[in-house]
Chains A and B, each alone.
Chain A
Amino acid sequence: MKIDVQVDAKGLACPMPIVRGKKALDAMQSGQFMELFATDKGALNDFQAWVKSSKNEWVSHEEKDGVHRFVIKKG
């Protein structure tokens, strides 16, 4: 899987990680992959709910040392 767009939202507080992710996805083509990093403690629940309500697709999530890495496919 090729990552097309990377977004670094580390250190940013709510609602910025979602806002940054949305902005990046808006500029992408359908089928492209976005990788987003965030350290906000609510980020996992936020991104799960947000992706579910959108046309985009959840690909993967992992967390290491408090840094969340999300991969989302643009729908």
Chain B
Amino acid sequence: MEREKSTIVLFSGDLDKAIAAFIIANGAAAYDHDVTIFFTFWGLNTMRKEEVVKTNKGMLEKMFGWMMPRGANKLGLSNMNMLGMGPKMIKHVLKKHNALTLPQLIELAQEQGVKLVACTMTMDLLGLQQEELIDGMEYAGVAAYLGDATNAKVNLFI
């Protein structure tokens, strides 16, 4: 029996949307689907390493690098962000309800074999380099994404 496939495009760099994307991805992996998450634009920031990585960049890329959140723990909320108070509250509530935090969801997704693909074109636009993203990612473009999505029944854009 051919395995079912699911794909998600994570375009957003909002904490709440990233959590939703990773819960669906982990659910689909538990359904035994081959799951791909394609990170593009602000969604790439979800996969940034927390520490500063030394890179050789131009002025504009450096500025982008400083202004964008560095990793899953630094994302803001799409609603009720309240200058960073919102994400703190959400993290507290997640813990209270025994739900996984975004870094835990990412780890679980990797453990379950979810394919994490970074869009190389938008990495160039935002000045992000491979060394700045967490290990274990794949690097590709729209054709690779469509290759996965064409055979998938669940394709989401978040």
Contact = CB atoms under 8 A, between A and B. Distances in A.
Interface centre among B23, B30, B31, B100 (most CB of A within 10 A): B30
A50 B23 CA distance: 15
Interface residues of B, number: 13
A54 B23 contact: no
A53 interface: yes
Nearest to A39: B98
A14 B30 contact: no
A50 B98 contact: no
A50 B97 contact: no
Interface in A12-30: 12-16, 18-19, 21-22
Interface string A25-53: 00000000000000000000000001001
Given A22-B30, A50-B30, A54-B32, A12 B112 contact: no
Contact of A19 (B97, B98, B112): B112
A11 B97 CA distance: 8
A13 B27 contact: no
Contacts of A22: 30-32
A74 B23 CA distance: 24
Interface of B: 23, 26-27, 29-32, 97-100, 108, 112
Interface of A: 11-16, 18-19, 21-22, 50, 53-54
Please give me the 6 A-B residue pairs with the lowest Cβ-Cβ distance, nearest first.
Answer: A13-B99, A22-B30, A15-B27, A18-B30, A19-B30, A15-B26
